[in-house]
Amino acid sequence: YQRRVHGTPSECLFFFVSMPQLKEFFYLANIIDYGRVVLLYFSLYYIDWRFVVLYTSSYMLDAIDGEVARAMNQTSKLGYWLDMVIDRISSVLCLWKVAGLVLSGATYWPTELVHPVAYAMYFCMIMVEIVAHGVVCYYAEVKNVHQKKLGHQYKIVRMYLDNKRILFWSCMFFEGFLLGTVLESCGAIPNNYIPHHWMAWSVISIPGFVFRALANLTRLWACFKL
């Protein structure tokens, strides 16, 4: 959705609250986003294969809501914000749950690395998912600075934003690292229907997880220099 909001944060919030029309709340694309919230809510009660199923189902809905909105001519400011906010809630939830799992000692991480790994996840939860994305959103939506211009002078940001394959795989590795950790800790699903290769998948995903975090932190740094 291409419209931009100008003014102070309070003016931006007022614009957002006053903008949506009643019919927009019932757009199919937005209803899909409500479904994502329901799935994420129920995932709070688990930290095993059921968490992965619920979380992944929510993630898959994220892949189709935009397509549905465009196909049905239902793009809206409400849908834009719903998608963005739920994405952040989703990532924060996953990092928080998996960090707690690591701290419990139930994962493949050796004892001496349990706390550093868990605290790194908490750091990413706050600094990457909340602060970095929030500041970039502020500059893009309030200051009207194009998102791709934020940090574009750095090679890591250009790689992350300009190459769709790298963007796709870095996001997949983010999910793979976290969900692979969960599946390895619980032995996949009951009766061993899925081979136990989740630790390998999680470890292989670590470079992509780190790359994504560094790219977003670089964008945050670029914002502070504006």
Predicted pLDDT at 190? 52
pLDDT at 171 over 80: yes
Among 16-25, 67-76, 141-150, which stretch is predicted with the lowest mean pLDDT? 16-25
pLDDT at 6 over 50: no
Looking at per-residue confidence, does 11 or 162 come out higher? 162
User: What's this model's pTM, rounded to 2 decimal places?
Assistant: 0.84
pLDDT at 8 over 80: no
Q: Torsion over CA of 132, 13, 35 and 54, rounded to 10 degrees?
A: 20
Predicted pLDDT at 2? 38
Predicted pLDDT at 19? 59
Task: Please state, in angstroms and as integers, the Cα–Cα distance from residue 167 to each residue in 146, 164, 171, following that order.
Answer: 18, 5, 6
Q: What is the mean pLDDT of residues 105-129?
A: 96
Report DSSP state, residue 132.
I
Longest Cα pair distance anywhere in the chain, in angstroms? 57
d(CA 124, CA 131): 9
Q: What is the mean pLDDT of residues 218-225?
A: 92
- What tokens appear for 111 in the block? 């004892």
Nearest to 171 by CA among 209, 210, 142: 209
Q: What is the mean pLDDT of residues 38-56?
A: 95
Kindly report, residue by residue over 10-42, the tens digit of the pLDDT: 455 545 545 567 788 888 899 999 999 999 999
d(CA 164, CA 93): 25
Angle at 78 between CA 50 and CA 31, to 5 degrees: 40
List CB contacts of 117: < 8 A, sequence separation 6 or more: 102, 109
Neighbour count for residue 226 (Cβ, 10 Å) = 9
Q: What is the mean pLDDT of residues 67-75?
A: 86
d(CA 152, CA 142): 19
Report DSSP state, residue 102.
H
Residue 86 pLDDT level (bands cut at 50, 70, 90): very high
Predicted pLDDT at 140? 85
- What tokens appear for 63 in the block? 């892949």
pLDDT at 5 over 50: no
- What tokens appear for 195 in the block? 């081979």
List CB contacts of 24: < 8 A, sequence separation 6 or more: 30, 74, 76, 78, 79
Average pLDDT, the chain: 86
Predicted pLDDT at 112? 96
Inter-residue contact 181 to 102 (CB < 8 Å): yes
At 59 the three-state DSSP class reads helix
Burial environment of residue 112 by CB neighbours within 10 A (0 to 12, 13 to 18, 19 or more): exposed
pLDDT at 44 over 90: yes
